[in-house]
């Protein structure tokens, strides 16, 4: 009976205990399974989101290459050399794209580039393989599910063009890839026929091992890799599909099963006592919460890493782009201004070259720390790139922004004492713009702060510069002027005027100097002091110099026994081959080399003496004379006269003003003339404007005179008449 009673009591208790344990175990298993399922779902969403964001980043990257007047004109003209240089070499070699295609308005490939010399996908197959993406780029309204990136471009004629970029993951030549299909449109300075279909740029970027490895490291996926056949044991996978449903590839990674691992740990404890069931259940709940929190924290850390500069730990360009619109919206609601400051470290390249990149990085970190110490309340400091910092400061009006900017300049001018005993000095340029006065959008404020900091760099003193409306006008004017100059050089619309070089008596023309002149239909006459430096900055100086040289020798053939002088710049010497250009011009024109003079300034020699010397010797080997122009304006004129074999010395006009007067200028001028005579150089005086100057220079032994006393620069036909009136025969007759 006792046994039966014991059994009667024990069995229900045992059954209850077993049932309770079963419920707990079942709950653990279900909870573990749900945790694993949630973790897997989040991992898959994270992967697909990362691939999608990578694609949209590429679309934004290509926007600068496809909203470009020059790209529109070159692709429409079918300029294969240009497309290979800018779309093949630049996008492929420098930006890492694996394939580039340009499609015409009929979606036929007119250009193809591949980092693989034998790609599996031929250029002719592009329109077929990517038909849906091309249709989405052509007509985004009809395929909104493809989420096209649309940018409106206001044109100069008031018409608004819509730039479209469509991004998708595709399998290209058995490579999982990100494909961007983007329309090629002009910017506001280049008109486009309203009904013309744009050409398309197709960029293919393989989702390679490095991208996959970084994705795995950033988001905690173990052994993340692409596979083509099956899934290895112990791994989980995600089939990546294109928008059209076609598979792109399969990503696999090592399974992460936090729920199952937990059960293995707690199972022994559950067998010891049913009393611990409640406690273990509680621990399970808390552990589950921690696991979910860990997953969420991992995602947050990944988002934070994507928005943080790894060197200075400051927010980066992405974080700045996200923060500024929110800050402007909050400030507008509170009726507060927002100051946007752009800060550039001056000549930072020189610091890297002098001390190395390690010291340069340390300087950037120290700059970030000093900016953080100056941070106004509520301000946001970012390092978007290189040696550039941005401060977004709500509540700062123009006066407060100026004071803060001056504090920044002062703080960054203090020496940086770095580990290892290295002391580095640096300065900073600061420009700033204030909302809403200088702009209501983040893009406008950032752009205008950049215009202000560029103006600050040009200032002689280290002062903060506030944006002013004329900066916008100047930037627009410079852009339009550059465009007009490109067209003028391409169309040969640059005129060449000539100023005579007279003999010492001032009665006979012995030479002429060719001078470029430009009158634009829109801008009118443009000073050479403006368009020559602009040509040097934009790389047009090579073509401009060749145009002036060719025109000068052609005109010079009408003036026998008269030398023709042409100026060349430092850029032409150091970034081109002046000797080859002159050789070709002389051969084509059959102009006598002994009547051609090439004038260079001392700045050419300062830049690179060796290169300048090679070019000078090459010119003289052709029979061409080389003159040192503007002598006396540099720092090392005498040593250059000793070192280089010049044929002529042109004395700068600043020494001529006092010619013949009882002042130091006359003494210095006489010394220069005597020096040139001792070196057997032809001496030319520039800027002769009075008869007194002419007579003094003639008596002092100067060989040639040039200036307004004789003639201003005049066109070739007038110069022909001038030479005819100032020949040796006419001089003797008069």
Three-class secondary structure assignment of 145-195: HHCCEEEEEECCCCCEEEEEEEEEEEEECCEEEEEEEEEEECCCCCCCCCC
- What token pair was written down for 385? 């790139």
**Of 427, 405, 476, 408, residue with least CA distance to 447:** 476
CA distances from 465 to 380, 407, 470 (A): 20, 13, 13
Contacts 24+ apart (CB under 8 A), 117-125: 119/173, 120/173, 120/174, 121/172, 121/173
CA–centroid distance for 103 within its chain: 26
**Of 603, 643, 649, residue with least CA distance to 626:** 649
- Based on C-alpha coordinates, what's the Rg of the chain? 37
pLDDT tens, 283-305? 766 776 777 777 666 666 667 77
pLDDT at 5: 47
Terminal-to-terminal C-alpha distance of the chain:
159
Q: Of 510-514, 529-533, 665-669, where does mean pLDDT reach its minimum? A: 665-669
252 vs 233: CA distance, rounded Å: 10
pLDDT tens, 474-488? 777 888 889 999 999
65 vs 99: CA distance, rounded Å: 15
- What token pair was written down for 505? 């008596």
pLDDT tens, 710-728? 999 999 999 999 999 988 7
Architecture of domain 67-207: 2-Layer Sandwich (3.30)
Of 56-60, 277-281, 299-303, 656-660, where does the model show the most confidence? 56-60
Give, for 512, the enclosing helix (H) or strand (E): strand 509-520
The residue written with tokens 């006065």 in the block is 437
Bridge partners for 340 per DSSP = 392, 433
**Of 730, 681, 733, 688, residue with least CA distance to 711:** 688
Handedness of CA 209, 211, 214, 215 (dihedral sign): negative
Phi, psi of 260 (to 5 degrees): -65, -40
The two beta strands, 422-424 and 416-418, are antiparallel
pLDDT tens, 617-659? 899 999 999 988 877 665 445 666 667 778 888 888 888 876 7
**Of 439, 431, 367, residue with least CA distance to 404:** 431
pLDDT at 280: 64
pLDDT at 515: 95
pLDDT at 664: 56
Bridge partners for 240 per DSSP = 249
The residue written with tokens 């049913």 in the block is 274
**Residues near 404 by Cβ (< 8 Å), separated by ≥ 6?**
339, 341, 374, 376, 391, 393, 396
DSSP string, 175-188: EEEEEEEEEEB--T
pLDDT top residue among 304 and 535: 535
**Of 483, 537, 536, 442, residue with least CA distance to 186:** 483
What secondary structure, in 3-state letters, does 517-551 show? EEEECCCEEECHHHHHHHHHHHCCHHHHHHHHHHH
pLDDT at 203 over 80: yes
**Of 660, 718, 696, residue with least CA distance to 506:** 696
pTM: 0.50
567 burial via Cβ count (<10 Å: 0-12, 13-18, 19+): buried
DSSP string, 558-576: TSTT-EEEEE--HHHHHSS
631 vs 684: CA distance, rounded Å: 10
346 vs 387: CA distance, rounded Å: 8
pLDDT bracket for residue 159 (50, 70, 90): confident
- Residue ranges of the alpha helices (H) in 273-316? 277-306
Number of helices (H) and strands (E) in the chain: give both, helices first: 25, 25
pLDDT tens, 130-157? 888 889 888 888 888 888 988 888 877 7
DSSP 8-state assignment for residue 164: E
pLDDT bracket for residue 373 (50, 70, 90): very high
pLDDT at 208 over 80: no
DSSP string, 675-710: HHHHTT-EEEE----SHHHHHHHHHTT--EE-STTT
pLDDT at 269 over 60: yes
List the CATH code of the domain at 497-517+535-733: 3.20.20.450
The residue written with tokens 């150091």 in the block is 574
Q: Does domain 317-467 have CATH number 3.30.70.270?
A: yes
388 vs 372: CA distance, rounded Å: 15
Q: How many CB atoms lie within 10 A of CB 532?
A: 20
pLDDT tens, 103-123? 998 889 999 888 775 545 567
CA distances from 321 to 307, 318, 332, 369 (A): 10, 5, 17, 22
CA angle 621, 626, 631 (to 5 degrees): 155
**Domains of the chain: which residue ranges?**
2-39+275-306, 67-207, 214-254, 317-467, 497-517+535-733
- The percent of residues above 90 in pLDDT, for the chain, comes to 34
- The percent of residues above 70 in pLDDT, for the chain, comes to 83
**Of 620, 602, 497, 604, residue with least CA distance to 548:** 497
Length of the chain in terms of residues written: 734
Strands (E), 224-367: 225-227, 235-241, 247-254, 338-345
Phi, psi of 341 (to 5 degrees): -110, 130
Phi, psi of 96 (to 5 degrees): 85, 15
As a whole number of angstroms, the longest Cα–Cα distance in the chain is 160
Handedness of CA 189, 193, 194, 198 (dihedral sign): negative
Of 18-22, 56-60, 228-232, 453-457, where does the model show the most confidence? 453-457
Sheet with 465-466: list strands edge to edge. 380-385, 388-394, 338-345, 428-435, 465-466
Handedness of CA 16, 22, 26, 27 (dihedral sign): positive
Buried b (16+ CB within 10 A) or exposed e, 310-347: eebebbbebbbbebbeebbeebeeeebbbbbbbbbbbe
- What token pair was written down for 345? 């470290």
Q: What is the mean pLDDT of the chain?
A: 83
pLDDT tens, 654-690? 888 767 665 655 777 888 888 888 888 899 999 999 9
pLDDT at 2: 44
What average pLDDT does the segment 409-426 reach?
A: 89
- Residue ranges of the alpha helices (H) in 376-416? 398-413
pLDDT bracket for residue 234 (50, 70, 90): low
pLDDT tens, 442-469? 898 999 999 899 888 887 557 889 888 8
- What token pair was written down for 194? 């309203």
pLDDT tens, 311-354? 999 999 999 999 999 999 998 888 899 999 999 998 888 888 88
């Amino acid at each position: 009976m006792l046994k039966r009673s014991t059994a009667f009591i024990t069995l229900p208790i045992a059954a209850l205990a077993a049932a309770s344990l079963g419920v707990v175990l079942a709950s653990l298993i279900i909870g573990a399974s749900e945790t694993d399922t949630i973790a897997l779902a989040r991992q898959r969403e994270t992967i697909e989101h990362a691939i999608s964001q990578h694609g949209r980043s590429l679309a934004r990257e290509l926007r600068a290459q496809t909203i470009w007047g020059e790209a529109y004109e070159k692709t429409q003209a079918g300029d294969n050399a240009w497309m290979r240089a800018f779309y093949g070499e630049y996008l492929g070699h420098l930006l890492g794209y694996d394939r580039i295609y340009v499609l015409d308005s009929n979606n036929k490939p007119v250009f193809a580039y591949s980092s693989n010399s034998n790609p599996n996908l031929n250029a002719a197959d592009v329109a077929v393989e990517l038909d849906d993406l091309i249709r989405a780029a052509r007509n985004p309204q009809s395929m909104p599910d493809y989420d096209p990136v649309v940018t409106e471009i206001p044109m100069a004629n008031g018409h608004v063009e819509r730039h479209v970029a469509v991004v998708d993951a595709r399998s290209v030549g058995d490579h999982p890839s990100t494909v961007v299909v983007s329309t090629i449109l002009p910017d506001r300075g280049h008109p486009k026929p309203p009904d013309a279909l744009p050409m398309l740029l197709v960029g293919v970027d393989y989702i390679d091992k490095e991208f996959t490895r970084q994705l795995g490291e950033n988001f905690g996926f173990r052994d993340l890799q692409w596979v083509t056949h099956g899934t290895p044991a112990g791994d989980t996978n995600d089939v990546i599909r294109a928008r059209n449903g076609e598979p792109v590839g399969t990503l696999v990674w090592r399974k992460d099963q936090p729920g199952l691992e937990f059960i293995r740990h707690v199972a022994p404890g559950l067998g010891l006592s049913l009393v611990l069931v409640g406690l273990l259940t509680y621990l399970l709940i808390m552990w589950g919460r921690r696991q979910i929190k860990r997953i969420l924290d991992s995602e947050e850390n990944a988002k934070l890493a994507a928005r943080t500069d790894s060197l200075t730990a400051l927010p980066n360009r992405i974080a700045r782009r996200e923060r500024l619109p929110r800050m402007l919206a909050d400030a507008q609601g509170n009726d507060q201004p927002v100051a946007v400051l752009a800060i550039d470290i001056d000549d930072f390249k020189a610091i890297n070259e002098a001390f190395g990149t390690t010291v340069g990085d340390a300087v950037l970190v120290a700059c970030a720390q000093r900016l953080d110490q100056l941070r106004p309340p509520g301000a946001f400091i970012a390092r978007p790139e290189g040696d550039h910092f941005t401060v977004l400061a709500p509540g700062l009006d123009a006066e407060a922004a100026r004071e803060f900017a001056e504090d920044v300049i002062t703080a960054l001018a203090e020496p940086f004492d770095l580990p290892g005993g290295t002391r580095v000095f640096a300065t900073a340029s600061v420009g700033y713009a204030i909302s809403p006065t200088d702009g209501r959008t983040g893009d406008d404020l950032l752009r205008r702060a950049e215009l202000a900091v560029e103006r600050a760099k040009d200032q002689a003193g280290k002062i903060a510069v506030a944006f002013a409306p004329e900066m916008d006008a100047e930037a627009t004017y410079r852009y339009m002027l550059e465009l007009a100059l490109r067209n003028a050089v391409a169309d040969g619309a640059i005129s060449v005027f000539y100023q005579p070089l007279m003999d010492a008596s001032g009665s006979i023309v012995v030479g002429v100097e060719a001078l470029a002149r430009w009158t634009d239909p829109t801008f009118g006459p443009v000073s050479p002091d403006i368009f020559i430096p602009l040509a040097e900055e934009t790389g047009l100086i090579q073509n401009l110099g060749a145009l002036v040289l060719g025109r000068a020798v052609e005109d010079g053939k009408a003036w026998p026994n008269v030398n023709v002088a042409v100026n060349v710049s430092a850029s032409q010497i150091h970034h081109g081959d002046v000797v080859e250009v002159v050789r070709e011009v002389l051969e084509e024109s059959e102009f006598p080399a002994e009547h051609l003079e090439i004038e260079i300034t001392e700045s050419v020699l300062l830049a690179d003496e060796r290169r300048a010397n090679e070019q000078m010797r090459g010119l003289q080997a052709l029979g061409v004379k080389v003159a040192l122009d503007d002598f006396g304006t540099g720092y090392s004129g005498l040593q250059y006269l000793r070192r280089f074999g010049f044929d002529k010395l042109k004395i700068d006009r600043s020494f001529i003003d006092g010619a013949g007067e009882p002042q130091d200028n006359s003494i210095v001028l006489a010394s220069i003339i005597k020096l040139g005579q001792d070196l057997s150089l032809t001496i030319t005086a520039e800027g002769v404007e009075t008869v007194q100057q002419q007579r003094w220079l003639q008596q002092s032994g100067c060989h040639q005179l040039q200036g307004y006393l004789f003639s201003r620069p005049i066109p070739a036909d007038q110069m022909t008449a001038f030479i005819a009136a100032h020949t040796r025969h006419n001089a003797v007759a008069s």
